[in-house]
Chain A
Amino acid sequence: MIEVSGVSKDYAKQKVVALDDISFTVNDGEFVTIVGQSGAGKSTLVRLLIAEEKPDKGRIVVNNWDVGLIKKKHIPMFRRQIGVVFQDFKLLEKKTAAENVSFAMEVCGRSRREIREQVPKILDIVNLSKRADLFPHQLSGGEKQRVAIARALIHKPKLLVADEPTGNLDSLNAWEIVQLLLKINELGTTVVMVSHNREIVNAIKRRVITMDEGKIVRNQDSGKYIL
């Protein structure tokens, strides 16, 4: 699913090496957690995985697309094969939960019928059917993140990238979100989760990639958050 080999990225302006010659592979159906302190290069890695930026050196292949070579006009096609959620949810405050999900389908050109049929189903997967008509400010943090996950699922992605999905949540909500991600993973979607949350990383006992100063310092199959 993901093949990263010898990838480096630095930001000339800040004179910081964000990623320094990193390599790893993620297989189809895996659940991988990427941990590390702030500035370790996790966010840069996420931006490369969703083709928001290109590597300076090395090769990064996501779902058979070479991110370094991807053409601008193909980026929308590429993005429709991966789902992304962020720490700050990125929901539209003036739209309800259901509208946030249907907006994403609308702007991707889905038919009205398809939207009408799919949105309730997707909201059901994230267990938000009863909260569909509420606005983000009426929802808890965990619920907002579930709306964001629902939106990420509209294209039935093969890969879900979650950048600090529990960063803004209390432990109970965080745990619910992780359970949801595990459930999505069980349904066949590869999940890459960037996280700070030691308890969660340790509890789920999945593969952990640890980063520090732009390098991968540990890559364990059933890992722990050790720094």
Chain B
Amino acid sequence: MPGFLRVLKFGAENFWRNIWLSVATTLIMVVTLFIITTIVILNLLANVAVDQVQKKVDLTVYFKTTAQEDRILEVRSQVQNLNNVETVRFVSKDDALAQFKKAHQDDELILKSLEELDENPLEASLVVKAIRTEDYEGISDFLSSDRFSDVIGKVDFQENKDVIDRLVRIANTIRKGGLAVGGAFVVIAILVVFNTVRLAIYTHKEEIGIMKLVGATNWFIRGPFLLEGVFYGIIGAAITLAMLYPILNAANPKITAFFDGQSFDMVQFFSQNLLWIAGGMVALGILLGIISSSIAVGRYLRK
């Protein structure tokens, strides 16, 4: 045990002895971790957005006003039997009228003109929810086929599809762009830590020579430099975490507003998953640090 503490001490000394270099290196680590975290958050938000829109998506089948009820029920049962359909809700002509009246209850003119008509002008409809968004196309094709053309007036899906496609595209762009930017910063961080550790090895050449001469074990010689890399990771992760909370707090109202107040609270999400997020960030920091210092140690302390 005195061994480990001593290696820890030497590692900390490496860190302090060249404090400005260490600060700069830690900052690069912070920037990298921050960017990666931001990308993860953006990804998360994009997924939430896609999810929420997808939940709102449905496919509506409007029956012709002339359609007979038994035909309508037959179509309903056929749609229900499709295995990619989650739910089917039937909206009768009366229901549709009630809904329409409710939606326009403040509009005298429309209500009056409705009363002028002898019969209910609205169509009965089926509201279909698919299990997956990709399935709507198939369901739509199925319902648009000739065998239902006598009863079905219109299959309404296209408009929603565009919105979803656009959202999925945005989410994909964020993911791809994020991967590229994140990857670039990972490489930068590894190079910077590598260079710092290399410099530390260089300035400790004499000590290293003496250590080898008197029979210090490899762990004693390499450990401090590996730990130096780990320090950059841990300190970088700690600073990033400390920065993240105020920023999230400031951004949270805007995020909530963006989602129409639909029960997505970023700060709450982070508080609930703090352990995972902090653990993941520290692990990532340590990983970056240890990869870089291992490369430096492997290259410059081989003999």
Interface residues in B206-231 by Cβ distance below 8 A to A read 206-207, 209-218, 220-221
Q: Scoring A residues 69 to 94 as 1 if CB is less than 8 Å from chain B, else 0, what string do you get?
A: 00001011111100010000010100
C-alpha gap A112/B3 in the complex (Å): 10
Would B214 and A90 count as touching, CB distance under 8 A? Answer: no
Q: List 28 A-B contacts (CB under 8 A).
A: A50-B213, A73-B218, A76-B217, A79-B212, A79-B213, A79-B215, A80-B215, A84-B213, A92-B210, A104-B210, A104-B211, A104-B214, A107-B6, A107-B211, A107-B214, A108-B215, A108-B216, A108-B217, A109-B6, A109-B217, A109-B220, A110-B2, A111-B2, A151-B210, A152-B214, A154-B214, A155-B214, A155-B215
Q: How far is the CB of B276 from chain A (nearest CB, A)?
A: 37
18 more CB-based (< 8 A) A-B contacts, given A76-B215, A111-B2: A50-B213, A73-B218, A76-B216, A76-B217, A77-B215, A79-B213, A90-B206, A90-B213, A92-B210, A107-B220, A108-B214, A108-B215, A108-B220, A109-B217, A109-B220, A112-B2, A154-B214, A155-B215
Q: How far is the CB of A128 from chain B (nearest CB, A)?
A: 18
Does A124 make an interface contact (CB < 8 A)? no
**Contact with B209, one of A77, A79, A90, A154 (Cβ below 8 angstroms):** A90
Would A107 and B216 count as touching, CB distance under 8 A? Answer: yes
State the interface size on chain A (CB cutoff 8 A).
24
**Contact with B206, one of A75, A92, A106, A155 (Cβ below 8 angstroms):** A92
- Chain A residues within 8 Å of B213, by CB: 50, 79, 84, 90
Q: Scoring A residues 105 to 121 as 1 if CB is less than 8 Å from chain B, else 0, what string do you get?
A: 01111111000000000
Binding site for A on B (CB under 8 A): 2-3, 6, 206-207, 209-218, 220-221
- Chain B residues within 8 Å of A109, by CB: 2-3, 6, 217, 220
Does A135 make an interface contact (CB < 8 A)? no
Does A103 make an interface contact (CB < 8 A)? yes
Binding site for B on A (CB under 8 A): 50, 73, 75-80, 84, 90, 92, 103-104, 106-112, 151-152, 154-155
C-alpha gap A155/B3 in the complex (Å): 17
Number of A-B pairs whose CB atoms are under 8 Å? 54
Q: Which residue of A lies closest to B212 (CB)?
A: A79
**Contact with A106, one of B6, B209, B221 (Cβ below 8 angstroms):** B6
Q: How far is the CB of B7 from chain A (nearest CB, A)?
A: 9
Q: Which residue of B lies closest to A95 (CB)?
A: B207
C-alpha gap A104/B221 in the complex (Å): 12
Q: Which residue of A lies closest to B216 (CB)?
A: A107
C-alpha gap A73/B217 in the complex (Å): 8
Q: How far is the CB of A156 from chain B (nearest CB, A)?
A: 12
C-alpha gap A77/B214 in the complex (Å): 10
- Chain B residues within 8 Å of A90, by CB: 206, 209-210, 213
Q: Which residue of B lies closest to A83 (CB)?
A: B214
C-alpha gap A39/B220 in the complex (Å): 35
C-alpha gap A11/B186 in the complex (Å): 42
Q: How far is the CB of A126 from chain B (nearest CB, A)?
A: 16
Q: Which residue of A lies closest to B4 (CB)?
A: A109
Q: How far is the CB of A116 from chain B (nearest CB, A)?
A: 12
C-alpha gap A107/B220 in the complex (Å): 6
C-alpha gap A106/B216 in the complex (Å): 9
Q: Which residue of B lies closest to A104 (CB)?
A: B214
Q: Which residue of A lies closest to B6 (CB)?
A: A106
Q: How far is the CB of A11 from chain B (nearest CB, A)?
A: 16
- Chain A residues within 8 Å of B209, by CB: 90
Q: How far is the CB of B200 from chain A (nearest CB, A)?
A: 15
- Chain B residues within 8 Å of A104, by CB: 210-211, 214
C-alpha gap A80/B217 in the complex (Å): 10
- Chain A residues within 8 Å of B206, by CB: 90, 92
C-alpha gap A152/B214 in the complex (Å): 7
6 closest cross-chain pairs (CB), A and B: A79-B215, A80-B215, A107-B216, A104-B214, A109-B3, A76-B215
- Chain A residues within 8 Å of B211, by CB: 104, 107
- Chain B residues within 8 Å of A155, by CB: 214-215
Residue of B210, B212, B215, B217 with most chain A CB atoms under a 10 A cut-off: B215
Q: Which residue of B lies closest to A114 (CB)?
A: B2
Would A92 and B207 count as touching, CB distance under 8 A? Answer: yes
Would B3 and A76 count as touching, CB distance under 8 A? Answer: no
C-alpha gap A50/B209 in the complex (Å): 13
- Chain B residues within 8 Å of A107, by CB: 6, 211, 214, 216, 220-221
Would B212 and A103 count as touching, CB distance under 8 A? Answer: no
Would A79 and B214 count as touching, CB distance under 8 A? Answer: yes
- Chain A residues within 8 Å of B215, by CB: 75-80, 108, 155
